[in-house]
Amino acid sequence: MGAKLDLGRTYGSQTRVEEWMTAEKAGNKGADVLSTPMLLQLIEEAAMHCIAPILSAEQLTVATHIDLEHRKPIPVGFIVRTEVEVVQIDGPRVTFAIQVFDERENVAEGTHERYIIDRTKFLAKLEDKMT
């Protein structure tokens, strides 16, 4: 690792919900709100950005688990704010607490787990699987 990863490290991001991000566009007719898969992508991006500065060039992170309660809809045009915080470090396993807000309220929360892995080993395993 480039630097030491500490508990309490946080990252937040904001994104305006666009039509291409909706459940409607993913096939759920009549649900013109942020889709859960897009919400998950925003969470993963925030978690990756949170710990990217401490990774060496030879490392990357992969998602291994998510426990997400998506409680409220987020309409097109609203700003969604995603906040992650490192709450547990167990060797290469990093667990994040997740909170997501729109312009009015908390809309989702949960936990997300990522592993810090060696990029070369990961690519070698991928290559083995492809052959």
Q: Are 39 and 101 in contact (CB under 8 A)?
A: no
Q: Which residue has the tokens 């859960």?
A: 36
CATH of the domain at 92: 3.10.129.10
Report yes or no on 1 lying in a domain: no
Strand partners, 62: 115
Give how many domains the chain has, as a whole number. Answer: 1
Report yes or no on 3 lying in a domain: no
Report yes or no on 5 lying in a domain: no
Report yes or no on 104 lying in a domain: yes
Mean pLDDT of 116-127: 93
User: Which residues constitute the domain of residue 81?
Assistant: 10-130
* pLDDT given for residue 49 in this prediction: 98
Confidence (pTM): 0.92
What are the C-alpha distances in Å from 120 to residues 58, 72, 114, 116? 7, 40, 17, 12
Report yes or no on 2 lying in a domain: no
The pLDDT tens digits for 68-78 are 999 999 999 99
pLDDT band at 2 (very low <50, low <70, confident <90, very high): low
Report yes or no on 4 lying in a domain: no
* pLDDT given for residue 4 in this prediction: 85
Q: What is the distance between the alpha carbons of residues 128 and 131, in angstroms, rounded to a whole number?
A: 5
What are the C-alpha distances in Å from 81 to residues 78, 120, 125? 10, 34, 35
